[in-house]
Chains A and B, each alone.
Chain A
């Protein structure tokens, strides 16, 4: 397996534009996580899914953020409208099983909102 695949690797957009980040988890994994990493706040959990169902979205900062998982092999994180303070590296991770502590992370998407 190629691991968790995220796209794009880099995204530069203007304030107010819609941004969509994409993730393909490892096949067979039933948990999917979206994290955001900044120097100020470190690694923050935004939302996670189990079997494509959102379980905990308490980390989603505002209504401008939304995430979907239409099937077991694809998830999106959307920001609309984007703001400069959304600039960060966004990671997707997946894991297998309820008690798993080993989450596999993608390479991340570096988002810059200007």
Chain B
């Protein structure tokens, strides 16, 4: 049969609103969890990371929350701007694997002006 490409989950928000992007991870042995942003035609770009022994970390306009009980990670973007429109990936890393990143599926964020 014909193969069909995956469609990324999409989140559409109004400019100025807060955005929450969610991710489920699989490896309970991961030491770090990271969010990357990928704009069209570019490679992924690091946003923020969180160690596995933390449950919250804040950056500039972004907050990452980690819930190890349910293996869930979220990225909150405050006052979302048109420049935030991109695909956002969560990734996992194990410390002794030298930054080897295993990426999740990705969520496309679309910001409406």
Contacts and interface: CB of A to CB of B under 8 A. Distances in A.
Interface of A: 4, 31, 33, 35, 39-40, 42-43, 45, 48, 50, 55-56, 91, 93, 95, 97-108
A106 B41 CA distance: 11
B6 A102 contact: no
Q: Max chain A CB contacts within 10 Å: which of B41, B98, B102?
A: B98
Interface residues of B, number: 27
B100 A91 contact: no
A65 to B, nearest CB: 18
Given A39-B5, A39-B6, A40-B6, A98 B98 contact: yes
A101 B99 CA distance: 5
A98 B99 contact: yes
A103 to B, nearest CB: 6
Contacts of A55: 97-98
* Leading 5 A-B pairs by shortest Cβ distance: A105-B43, A39-B5, A43-B103, A100-B99, A95-B99
15 contacts: A33-B100, A39-B6, A40-B6, A42-B104, A42-B106, A43-B44, A43-B103, A45-B101, A93-B43, A98-B96, A99-B95, A101-B46, A103-B44, A107-B41, A108-B43
